[in-house]
Structure 1
Amino acid sequence: MQVSIQPTGTLGRSITITLPADEVAPKLKAEYEKIRQNARMAGFRKGKVPMDVIEKTYKPQVEADLAEKLIQESYFDAIGKEDIDPVTHPEITDFKYHDDGSFSYDAAVETRPIFDLGEYKGIQLETPLITISDEEVAAEIEKLRHELAALQDAGDRPAVEGDVVLIDFQGYFKGNPIKQIKNNDFSLELGSGKLEAELEKKLVGLKKGEETRHEIDYPETNPNPFLQGKKIEFRINLKEVKQRLLPEVDDEFAKDVSDTFNTLDDLKFSIRERRMKDRLNQSEGALIDKIMQTLLERHDFEVPKRLVDFEVRQMVKETEDRLKRLGVTPETAGLDLKQFAENSQPMAEKRVRGDFILKKIADVEEIKVDDADMERGFKRIGDQYKMSVKEVKEFFKSRDDLLPLMNELLNEKILNFLKEAAVVTTAATASEASAEPPAPAEASTTAPGDTPAEDDK
């Protein structure tokens, strides 16, 4: 086997692999012989068709099938022999059989970038002192009061902000109705922002049975194609006005929120606990972002273009999936996917470079994913999708693809290692630092943002 390598840029390699005739010929003969044993042709008994007839008839099929086998058998031997470390699948081109009986093909790959690992321990991190105030808890309770409020007809009084109204509306362009801008029995809380703010304001002060009209000039950049660059007249009929009857904030209210609460204090504790968990998770995410930002600032090297392109495609797919879950298409959301892909290139490159940095740290520090990590990953997925660990394992077994999960768990272990090796200081937020006087301990829940409980991570 002969191997010729030509650099194509910093990381690209064009590899030409040639297999000699004395290696190819016996395999070709064996392939033809297998076909001959079962071949049936007019005028010949089974297994007795002349070899020259077999070769003439089946040559394209045999050479194509054997080429695939020869490439699979020789590619990894070749890159091992030449000490090439590819990080992308080979692009196989120009494979052919030569007149001298040899076989050759070209394989284009991109190799792992070589870079010196800079300092990664002792990264300076700052995390806020997290405080859940009485005001936050009260605001959450007020929100729950509105959700549980009963609705009562407001009678003949004008609608005010906070009322729930029922409307019919129709959009007109140059006096002609637009069928796509129409809704009957549309329920709306005034001030919620569910409808255009200008239209909601026009409804305030109206009484049941009254109508109003209002024109809005929409820019060309509006994501709705039926509104782009048009002056639309809205005609609205107010059909009902209902006011909310807010419940008293007491133990019975807490029980109405959930049967897991017996008292109002139980509800308040739950609100504090949930908000604390959310803040800790946010703080944790901010620490990880700062670690990655610091690592990227300290390591600047070229990364394989095909990996960046793959990451861009993943980012586009994630965005499309997110819009699909919201019931929105890229077009109606005003998203140009081609432009989005171009704009995503810098972030994709950072992600790829960051992954190379993390993996090199893992090699140096001998950080690996073990069975306990995998069990933790299976359990987390099970909790997320309401599946048993056994069901999660069976799912991955059916797909035969654990690499994405293993990579995710490995990166988590590396980042946890870096966080533990960092220098973390706790600082109060500006609002907390200026608060006069500081809230008493019983009025708030406080915890350093860098020390979440294991369950909150």
Structure 2
Amino acid sequence: MDIVVEQISELTRKLTITLPKETVEPALAKAYAKINKEVKLKGFRRGKIPQSVLEKNFKEQVQGETGEKFVQETYFDAVEQEKLDPVVHPEITEHRFPEDGSFVYVAMVDIKPQFELKEYKGLEVEKPVITVNDEEVDKEIKLLQRHQAMLQTAEEGHTIALDDVAVVDFQGFHNGKAMKEVFNENFTVDIGMHRLGKEFEEKLIGLKSGDKTLYEITFPDDYPNPLLAGKNVEFKVDVKDVKVRIKPELDDEFAKDIKPELNTLAELKEDIRKRLQKEKDDALQGDVDDQLMHRLIELNPFEVPQRLVNFEIQEMLKQTEENLKRSGLSFESAGIDLNDLVEKNREIAVKRVKGDFILKKVAEVEEIKIADEDIQRGYQRIADQYRMTVDEVKKYFKRREEILPFMNELHNEKILNFLREQANIKEVPPVQETTEQAAS
């Protein structure tokens, strides 16, 4: 095997790999012999088809399959021989069988960037000191009370109020045209939950069963549903039914219904307080990690392989597409320009790729590795989150393409735990919300 390496850029190498005639001829002969035994051509007995006839009919197929097999069998040997460290699958730009009987293919290889890790211990970050207040606990209690309530059909003439449930038909119009994706019949609107947007619900308050109405809503540019973002939509709404909530009393029996192991309402409140505090602490930990990664990326400027960035962008697009599908939408129906989306995600993808290289460099220097107990904890966490057994979780991670991202996530978490332990974390008062922020 002959290998010629050209440096295309700092992180890209072009490998031209040539396999000699002595390797190629037997492989092609074996492939033709296999086809001779398997195919049937008019006028020839199976296994007795002349080589010239086989080549005339199956040359493209044989060369394509044999060439692909050669690439799979020799690529990793080639990069190992040249002491390259690829970070993503190569791009095979060509493969051919020249007249001299050899086989030649070209692989564009992106390699791991080399950089000297700057300071990563003692990084200064801020962490707000946040505690759960009584108002937040009471809000959670009221939500539980709401969820435990019974629904009954409202009396005739009852007007829709907060906490009621309205059953409606609606059709959205944009520039006078009906939007086929913004349409539903017998749709349940839980007044106060804002699942269809706060303004949509507020327009229903004061109406009663049998009412029909028409109103316009202007959606902000950053509205989560891309189909509605930045648009003026006129809604035609028909109220079909209204149900009211009959809420249970907030007492010790209520607490037992929510959590049988609890005895009093006071215990339920304390349980809620602990849960909310953990959620806040987890969110703050994520914020600390973001600060650490931002600082590390600032301190360690280096180029990243573009093919790896493109791969990360494609993964992000897949996730967006899956989210849209769950809402019955596609990129096209949601009015999303793919080229714009790619460019919007590029900077995020570069940071993700760069951050992963930095974390792995820290792991290399500090010899941070994944242990069996780390994996078991990861399985248990998923099992707890989705109410599964650990064995059920393990079954999901059978294949290599499923276990590798999971292992990488666990490894990065362990590295971040180390960086957090080494960081200089300064506790600061929480940022006070302005009246306008609180209202929004």
- In structure 1, runs of 5+ residues without a counterpart are 433-457
1:28-71 deviation line (CA, Å, top 9, x unaligned): 45555667789999999987777677666765454444323333
- Determine the structure 2 residue equivalent to 1:403: 404
**Is residue 419 of structure 2 the alignment partner of residue 421 of structure 1?**
no
Question: Cα offset for 1:370?
Answer: 2.4
User: 1:109-188 alignment to 2 at 5 Å?
Assistant: 109-149=109-149, 159=159, 161-162=161-162, 164=164, 166=166
Could you tell which deviates more after superposition, 397-406 or 282-291? 397-406
Using the size of structure 1 for normalisation, the TM-score is: 0.77
Question: Cα offset for 1:154?
Answer: 7.3
Name which one, 1 or 2, has greater alpha-carbon Rg.
1
SS in 1 for 2:16: strand
Distance 1:259 1:353, change over 3 A: same
Is 1:158–1:204's contact at 8 Å kept on the other side of the alignment? no
Question: Cα offset for 1:322?
Answer: 2.5
User: 1:216-365 alignment to 2 at 5 Å?
Assistant: 216=216, 232=234, 234=236, 242=244, 246-330=247-331, 335-365=336-366
Could you tell which deviates more after superposition, 144-153 or 413-422? 144-153
Distance 1:280 1:86, change over 3 A: same
Is 2:331–2:338's contact at 8 Å kept on the other side of the alignment? yes
- In structure 2, C-alpha distance between the alignment counterparts of 1:352 and 1:64, rounded to whole Å: 34
- In structure 2, C-alpha distance between the alignment counterparts of 1:342 and 1:40, rounded to whole Å: 52
Name the amino acid aligned to 2:131.
T
Question: Cα offset for 1:347?
Answer: 0.3
Distance 1:392 1:361, change over 3 A: same
- In structure 1, C-alpha distance between the alignment counterparts of 2:419 and 2:294, rounded to whole Å: 13
1:400-422 deviation line (CA, Å, top 9, x unaligned): 65221221111111111111111
- Determine the structure 2 residue equivalent to 1:72: 72
- In structure 1, C-alpha distance between the alignment counterparts of 2:343 and 2:35, rounded to whole Å: 51
1:387-411 deviation line (CA, Å, top 9, x unaligned): 3333333333356652212211111
SS in 1 for 2:119: coil
- In structure 2, runs of 5+ residues without a counterpart are 434-440
Name the amino acid aligned to 1:321.
E
Distance 1:53 1:107, change over 3 A: same
Could you tell which deviates more after superposition, 265-274 or 390-399? 390-399
Using the size of structure 2 for normalisation, the TM-score is: 0.79
SS in 1 for 2:397: helix
Distance 1:409 1:53, change over 3 A: same
Is 2:173–2:179's contact at 8 Å kept on the other side of the alignment? no
1:95-117 deviation line (CA, Å, top 9, x unaligned): 22223333222111111112221
Distance 1:86 1:136, change over 3 A: same
- In structure 2, C-alpha distance between the alignment counterparts of 1:33 and 1:203, rounded to whole Å: 75
- In structure 2, C-alpha distance between the alignment counterparts of 1:56 and 1:331, rounded to whole Å: 44
Aligned residues: 429
Question: Cα offset for 1:209?
Answer: 7.0
Distance 1:126 1:23, change over 3 A: same
Is 1:159–1:241's contact at 8 Å kept on the other side of the alignment? no
Matched residues, percent identical? 43
- In structure 2, C-alpha distance between the alignment counterparts of 1:341 and 1:204, rounded to whole Å: 41
Is 2:161–2:206's contact at 8 Å kept on the other side of the alignment? no
- In structure 2, C-alpha distance between the alignment counterparts of 1:67 and 1:125, rounded to whole Å: 54
